[in-house]
Structure 1
């Protein structure tokens, strides 16, 4: 596996120097400052590449921008409203510009409104560190009693509705504000909490779009951009829903293996594939991560390796971000499947036989606790995760393990 690290740009509290010391081989980044739907110009792409190439003292970092995460798909495209056709044309132009600068792997998602959802951004775990958490009762309390979305209670089990009412009744005003801010932190492009009125407006625009219609819009998008990616020798890889079940009455169409089958079969091209995120998909007990890797292996273009502990049975469930070797995903079995696929690709002579991976999320530990960095992206916690993943990769690739490449 190609060991990479996500970097949010010059404002990221983890510096290029830090990445270099972590021993990563490549960088995952994006032009977060460019408005969604606009063209990524060659100049802006080159500027980010230059930022990654230099350390603080101006010397060469030896690192390069290798994976784009994410080239965002606009809400207009997802809804097929407004400027969606212009945005698709801009997306194609951005792909052309990225390819011209040597970038080949493009991660994106097709989640409506919310890119990810958590109720706690600093949940304290037993060892004293913190992590991100999704508490189903807290989320129901937000949806029913803070957002007051019409029909919200109908989307939850009766026991969850009752527990949410009790939870909300005992909630301080400060916690209500914090909960709303945590949930809306996953709104794309948002750096501040949105008002409930603004969230409801977003939701209203999806009132007439069910899962089948959203999937049709997704396939239409892929039919437009995949031929461009294929011509350019690029790999598009869709990230799964996070969490992988419906929220706020919104449709979810990339939450299970069947969801991926339907979309990848509809636009059957090696240029269109999967970002296998073991944490997102792993929040459902019916998602067998080693089996999913085995089934979709030839079209897995990018790996997010993280783990979650499911706190309640069934789907939807409460869960929190576990240590990389903890949680409910068998990470050793998953990595073994990845290494088998890499060996198969190498034997075929595929140039992309080495699949880029990054240690996704991580628990805030040691110095992370005082940094107040990007939620889910602690420096020390990810470094610990990378070390653990690297250790598994090296051990499983050793000749005595029989998976060496």
Structure 2
């Protein structure tokens, strides 16, 4: 297993690579080119520059005795253009044009040493919360989802609220360039059902998986967040049955999951531990975090420790350890702690301290199980 830490790039993250180096156990930086729009091909020059930035210890740090280096083997995410999900031209881009650019990007990432590429197939919104800074009883804040708020608001107002609550950093999944076309996208999905989404997804996989096999790069699809339909738009990676069907669309081992146990567990009917055990051999990347259900579809994100919420993070890490899991893991959304709520406001869910604490907790479970404790 390799422990990773998601990083949004120089000048686009309140957390620095120098700070991440001081988190014990982190080997992999999970990265992306966040200025790229869905459907756009990534250039080799930009990819190589970012990989070099991640994997090279700067001269100034070496002078201070720093030797710890990272790899850049996981990209999260290369976003899937809406034309691929819809199976037709939208926002001026055809499905085949978007797929061709995706294939080119995969080839270039493979040349740079990338091993896993994460993506999702959620319509319009990659993820949804109704409060990005919800106060918790201990004084920290966290991401929060209130089903009642969603039921009473239209997508445009939700988008406005989310963007208004974000700091002056990119917010992946909520790119203003794409949200500017929200009415067009909403109309495009009006006559698209789950079966059409599966068919369009299968078309995408059939087109890109041969490239993954040729270049030995693995695709890892992220579960829907939250894992149920929103605003009448069909979501197809929400339940255990969905995961099984998604994997059956293409039986190549290069097609697999980025199993985010927090996202998956946002539906209380889902059993994340069971999903880990069932799909272990197709989980290329996993996010381990915790949430607490508050009833009526409402939930809050909490600390990674199992007893803080409703996700059995201990059981999940035990399952990975007992199986000798060799993929990638990272802590996911953390609470915002200490000065992060005042002077050093991070991207929502992606501060330094709680993710660092989460890593130590998750590695503690892993080390104890592997040691036979």
Q: How does the TM-score come out when normalised to structure 2?
A: 0.90
Task: Name the residue aligned to 2:10.
Answer: 10
Deviation larger for 24-33 or 367-376? 367-376
SS at match of 1:142: coil
Match of 2:346 in 1: 373
Is 1:190 aligned to residue 175 of structure 2?
Answer: yes
Q: How far apart, CA to CA, are the structure 2 residues paired with 1:233 and 1:193?
A: 31
Question: Matches of 2:250 and 2:143 in 1, distance apart?
Answer: 34
Which residue matches 1:338? 320
Between the aligned partners of 1:146 and 1:44, the Cα distance in structure 2 is 35
In the superposition, the TM-score normalised over structure 1's length comes to 0.83
Match of 1:27 among 22, 29, 39: 29
What is the aligned length? 356
Q: Give the 3 Å change call, closer, same or farther, for CA 375–64 of structure 1 in structure 2.
A: same
Partner of 1:217: 200
SS at the partner of 1:40?
A: coil
Establish whether residue 322 from structure 1 lines up as the match of residue 302 from structure 2: yes
Match of 2:111 in 1: 100
Secondary structure of 1:110 counterpart: coil
1:388 corresponds to: 361
The reply to whether residue 40 of structure 1 matches residue 42 of structure 2 is yes
Candidates 200, 222, 232, aligned match of 2:183: 200
Shift in CA distance, 128/221, structure 1 to aligned 2, threshold 3 Å: same
Matched, 1:136 2:147: yes
Q: Distance in 1 between matches of 2:173 and 2:314?
A: 33
1:69 corresponds in structure 2 to 76
Alpha-carbon separation, structure 2, partners of 1:103 and 1:193 = 27
Q: Quick one: distance in 2 between partners of 1:271 and 1:245?
A: 26
- Cα offset for 1:17? 0.2
Distance change (3 Å), C-alpha of 1:177 and 1:105: closer
- Residues 14, 346 of structure 2: 8 Å contact kept: yes
Give the one of 296, 304, 311 matched to 2:279: 296
Please, which moves more after superposition, 303-312 or 60-69? 60-69
CA contact (8 A) 2:119 2:220 kept: yes
| 1:155 equivalent in structure 2 | none
Mapping 1:90-129, distance limit 5 Å: 90-129=101-140
Unmatched segments (≥5 aa) in structure 2: none
- Measure the CA separation in 1 of the matches of 2:165 and 2:240: 28
C-alpha RMSD of the superposition: 2.2
Distance in 1 between the 2:199 and 2:165 partners? 31
CA shift at 1:180, angstroms? 7.5
State the alpha-carbon separation in 1 of the partners of residues 163 and 80 from structure 2: 25
Q: Distance in 2 between matches of 1:193 and 1:34?
A: 12
Classify the secondary structure of the residue corresponding to 1:311. strand
1:305/1:360 contact within 8 Å kept: yes
Q: Which whole-Å CA distance do the structure 1 matches of 2:10 and 2:303 have between them?
A: 27
Please say which structure displays the higher CA radius of gyration: 1
Partners of 2:21 and 2:358 lie apart in 1 by 16
Q: 2 CA distance for matches of 1:132 and 1:84?
A: 33
232, 239, 254: which one pairs with 1:271? 254
Cα deviation, residue 377, structure 1: 0.5
CA contact 1:116–1:187 (8 Å) conserved in 2? no
**Cα deviations by residue, 1:305-339 (Å, 9 ceiling, x for unpaired):** 111111115xxx11011111121111111111111
Distance change >3 Å, CA 377–CA 192, structure 1 → 2:
farther
The higher relative CO (CA closer than 8 Å, separation ≥ 6) is in 2
1:25 counterpart SS class = strand
